[in-house]
Structure 1
Amino acid sequence: MDWSRIPSLAALRAFDALARHGGYSAAARELNVTHAAIAQHVRTLETHFGEALAARDGRTIRLTDTGIELAAALADGFAKIEDGVTRILDRNTSRPVVVSLTPTFAETWLMPRMGTFWAAHPEIEVRLVPGIALVDMRRDGIDLAIRFGDGDWPGYEVEPLDLSQFVVVAGRGYTEARDLAALGDLSRHYWFFSGASREQAVWGREIGVDFAQVRSEEMANNSIALSAVRAGLGLSIQSRALVESDLAAGVLYSLFEGDPAGLGYHIVTRPGVLSPGARTFRAWLRTLARIQPQV
């Protein structure tokens, strides 16, 4: 396409509005510009084509034969553009929102709350992709990721989800101790953790527990690890948000609470690329993170 032969798109849009409304004032209102701006665009087009496109006929505007020809071409062209844009927007609105997240977060925090999202937005399909690695979001078609760490992921837009506080928990009957100091040598206790939960290893180092050096059991997922702790078999390190309901019910109790600076769950997105459904899901996460968990 030789763009040097095509006039300003702003001028063409102004002339299309003039042709449809039959007046400068109405065209100006549609485009939220001044009457003079529409007139200037028309003069620019007339200079470009070397002939008149519109003339005043009493209180109305009459298009010349060339103006009628141009108006028809613009109506056809803009209609095709509108159709293409609408199809793309509709496709992005209806396609699933693909969310990559850690298995621990998916199992214990997100899934118990997803019912509220689906109730509010039944038209939006959400596809969860559990994993512990930060995937290539563009290559793998990921709209949004929830990741644990310090938030330093270059090339992405990152915002904290404010769920960084962690707790050391035990089940009723495991020990009479009510804090870490009373437990004595931490390596003498059984620790349950999930192999899919990088955050538990990070938090362990914060309190001097290395799962490779203590008596520990790696479980296939965090749900099994929590089941073992609820049964009074040992200890675990968990995000407080993930065990809030257990603590409130007295099923588990806390021996230690920590809040390592900068570490926590984050919402990760590609810069400037979010479908309407993904924007809605992100807004829901932001709201949910500010309210008391209800699991």
Structure 2
Amino acid sequence: MRMDWRDIPSLSSLRAFESAARLGGYSAAARELNVTHAAVAQHVRGLESHLGEKLLQRDKKGMALTATGRSLADSLAEGFGMIVSGVRAVTDEKTGRALRISTTPTFAEVWLMPKLGAFWSEHPHISVQVQPSMGLSNMRADDIDLAIRFGHGSWPGVDVVPLLMSPFTVVCSPDYTPEDRLEDIEDTSGFYWLFSEFSSEQYAWGQRIGIDFHEEGYRELASNALTLSAVRSGHGVSIQSRVLVEDDIASGRMKVLYEGDPENIGYYIVTAAGVLSPNIRLFRNWLIKNAEPVATLEELASGWDDVEPD
């Protein structure tokens, strides 16, 4: 599309308005842009005159956006953010800045870190910093290049790519119960259900196995790593994404009482919308390549000669 700059107000006025809208006033915008309060106000008035629309107005709390102002502010935030991403993609490659990767502590420990050595061997010139975190980062504000998050993948304002859609499993230690199938256990009220305090998927997964955890009760631990340790030690039962307990199952430290379809709940790669640097694209593609597909339920069932499919 051909850009006609005659139809666009000055970038200085757009930048002043975006800053005032984001920070909630002229004074804060002036400090951020290192100009005077009067200069910001003049830019905003000039922008309003150019557009023939009121963008900011005073209220009891200070400055408030009009509906038109909110729409323009959102568009400018996205547009300037893409400009920042594009410039950073160029400068980061020149300076060799480390990639900043954010992911949950458990996923970092169980899945990412054991594989990361291979990435460093293949790409020794690219430095990677892993920052364990439970929250979905504000990618640009927190200076995060790529995040790996668990959920449905429907987060606004970011680009999302599926990484691992793993079945969910009900797991416990082999000594916790003599039964090997959840459906063979008539009463689970005596079970200690263990979850991380940051997890929410257990409610949806509980409905899938016919358990309401609001009624049956459960115990929350400070992290999923502590939850997995407690399960291994025989202190309770948990519902986990299978990819996190694969090694425990293979080694016999845990057994699977039930396995269900994830239904689009899984791990996703999250990046800021806009231009990605070559190194971020390379790391994202490496993650996808190394996410070996977990066997489907049908494939798993084909190996269960002693179990009738549901």
TM-score range with shorter-chain normalisation? Answer: 0.5 to 0.7
- Identity over the aligned pairs, expressed in percent? 50
- Structure 1 pair 168–85 and aligned structure 2 pair: CA distance change class (3 A): closer
> Taking structure 2 as the reference length, what is the TM-score of the superposition?
0.61
Task: Tell me if structure 1 keeps the 8 A contact 2:169–2:257.
Answer: yes
Give the match for residue 100 of structure 1: 102
Deviates more, 1:282-291 or 1:116-125: 116-125
Task: Tell me if structure 2 keeps the 8 A contact 1:194–1:218.
Answer: yes
Which residue, out of 250, 275, 279, partners 1:273? 275
1:173 maps to amino acid: D
4+ long deviations beyond 4 Å? 84-87
Give the match for residue 183 of structure 1: 185
Q: How does 1:191-210 map to 2 (within 5 A)?
A: 191-210=193-212
> Taking structure 1 as the reference length, what is the TM-score of the superposition?
0.63
Deviations 1:260-292 (A, max 9, x none): 322111111122332232222111110111367
Task: Tell me if structure 2 keeps the 8 A contact 1:164–1:239.
Answer: yes
Is structure 2 residue 235 aligned with structure 1 residue 233? yes
- Mapped to 1, the partners of 2:88 and 2:250 lie a distance apart of 50
Task: Tell me if structure 2 keeps the 8 A contact 1:194–1:222.
Answer: yes
Give the match for residue 29 of structure 1: none
- Mapped to 2, the partners of 1:143 and 1:122 lie a distance apart of 18
- Mapped to 2, the partners of 1:86 and 1:205 lie a distance apart of 44
- Mapped to 2, the partners of 1:157 and 1:189 lie a distance apart of 40
Deviations 1:116-138 (A, max 9, x none): 22222222222222223222111
Deviations 1:40-91 (A, max 9, x none): xxxxxxxxxxxxxxxxxxxxxxxxxxxxxxxxxxxxxxxxxxxx99982543
- Mapped to 1, the partners of 2:288 and 2:227 lie a distance apart of 28
- Mapped to 1, the partners of 2:88 and 2:200 lie a distance apart of 42
Give the match for residue 284 of structure 1: 286
- Mapped to 2, the partners of 1:211 and 1:203 lie a distance apart of 10
- Structure 1 pair 209–121 and aligned structure 2 pair: CA distance change class (3 A): farther
Give the match for residue 21 of structure 1: none
- Mapped to 1, the partners of 2:219 and 2:249 lie a distance apart of 22
Deviation at 1:108, TM superposition (A): 2.0
Deviation at 1:210, TM superposition (A): 4.6
- Structure 1 pair 85–104 and aligned structure 2 pair: CA distance change class (3 A): closer
Aligned to 1:266, what secondary structure does the other structure show? strand
- Structure 1 pair 91–251 and aligned structure 2 pair: CA distance change class (3 A): same
Aligned to 2:226, what secondary structure does the other structure show? helix
Unaligned runs of 5+ in 1: 4-83
1:286 maps to amino acid: I
- Mapped to 2, the partners of 1:188 and 1:240 lie a distance apart of 24
Deviation at 1:202, TM superposition (A): 4.1
Task: Tell me if structure 2 keeps the 8 A contact 1:132–1:197.
Answer: no
Give the match for residue 141 of structure 1: 143
Aligned-pair RMSD on alpha carbons? 2.8
Unaligned runs of 5+ in 2: 6-86, 296-310
